[in-house]
Amino acid sequence: MTEHNKRIAVVFPGQGSQTVGMMNELAEHFEVIKATFDEASLALGFDLWEITHDETRLHQTKFTQPALLAASVAIWRIVKDKLDKQGISPLYLAGHSLGEYSALVASGVVSLSDAVKLVHERGKLMTNAVAGMDTQMAAVLGLDDEQVVSLCDDAKDQAGSVNAANFNSPGQVVIAGTQVGVSHVLSAVENLGKKAVPLKVSVPSHCELMNPASQKLAELLADTSFHQAQIPVIQNRHAEVHRAVSDIKTALTEQLSMPVQWSKTMQKMAEQHIDLIIECGPGNVLSNLAKRQQTPITALPTDKLARLEKLEKLHES
């Protein structure tokens, strides 16, 4: 930290933030956008930039994940340059679900080339794990975490597999599982007079249905070169910073079938007196969530030129 007073963290969004043509505006102004996509495409052996303009493929998990990763890392490279010029370094990084891989690239733990190959395979493993199943995810609003967990436990006893998948903010918990299990929970939520919103996703992440994918992901991670983090990354599994490479990989393995502890991640940042969160990636989902935490934190999305320009004079704010 230099003479500025800002305590900054950077966060990276997960699946669901993708939109067709999501990087077009920034690509017109920053060469690093296309350069980053070219780097990722070379590693994968197919044109990732083209996929960001193809609605059908962009929403297939095996393509969504590397496309979002490349987009987030590209924006990070712009943001980092702007922060470096002001003598500012983030104190922490974190990423929501898939976004954790973007955070690990930004921290120097894994190369972009290796990361996009990992998440491309991760997407295929997730799809294969539930092939032929009717599955669903939904956001439950207005209940506390323990209530949602209890409803999922009741549903598993009576209907089908369902788990709390993302603890996003107080009063917002995403559930995932079989369609029968999720529907049972949604009926219970409605009976309590609360609201639940089904999500448009192709794969139910962070639930026990992902156990087979998690086991195979561990093998891929074992064969991938990881390094010490240059900036601490708060990982989803326990909302903790892991220093040892082996622990980072274990947390990534378990993350796939266990819930994202985003509320705890945000609370940890609040406890570390973070007063500005910069979101690197398409959209502003995480910026909105930052406002809804037990201790709200000011957040700045950076996916548009006008938003990025707000980073120019952080040291004066």
User: What are the residue numbers of the active site?
Assistant: 97, 206
Helix pair 179-191, 145-158: axis angle to 10 deg: 130
Q: Which two tokens stand for residue 102?
A: 């973007």
> In 12-110, where does DSSP find H-type helix?
24-29, 31-44, 48-51, 55-58, 61-85, 99-106
Distance CA(222)–CA(126), nearest Å, equals 18
Q: In this structure, is the dihedral angle defined by the CA atoms of residues 189, 60, 260 and 18, taken in order, positive or negative?
A: negative
DSSP assignment of 66-84 equals HHHHHHHHHHHHHHHHHHH
Residue closest to 280 by CA, chosen among 305, 301, 311: 301
What amino acid occupies position 232?
P
Q: In this structure, is the dihedral angle defined by the CA atoms of residues 112, 115, 116 and 117, taken in order, positive or negative?
A: positive
Distance CA(230)–CA(111), nearest Å, equals 13
Query: Which residue has tokens 């700045």?
Result: 300
Please state, as a whole number, how many other Cβ atoms lie within 10 Å of the Cβ of residue 197. 12
Residue closest to 256 by CA, chosen among 201, 213, 202, 222: 213
Contact 161, 133 (CB under 8 A): no
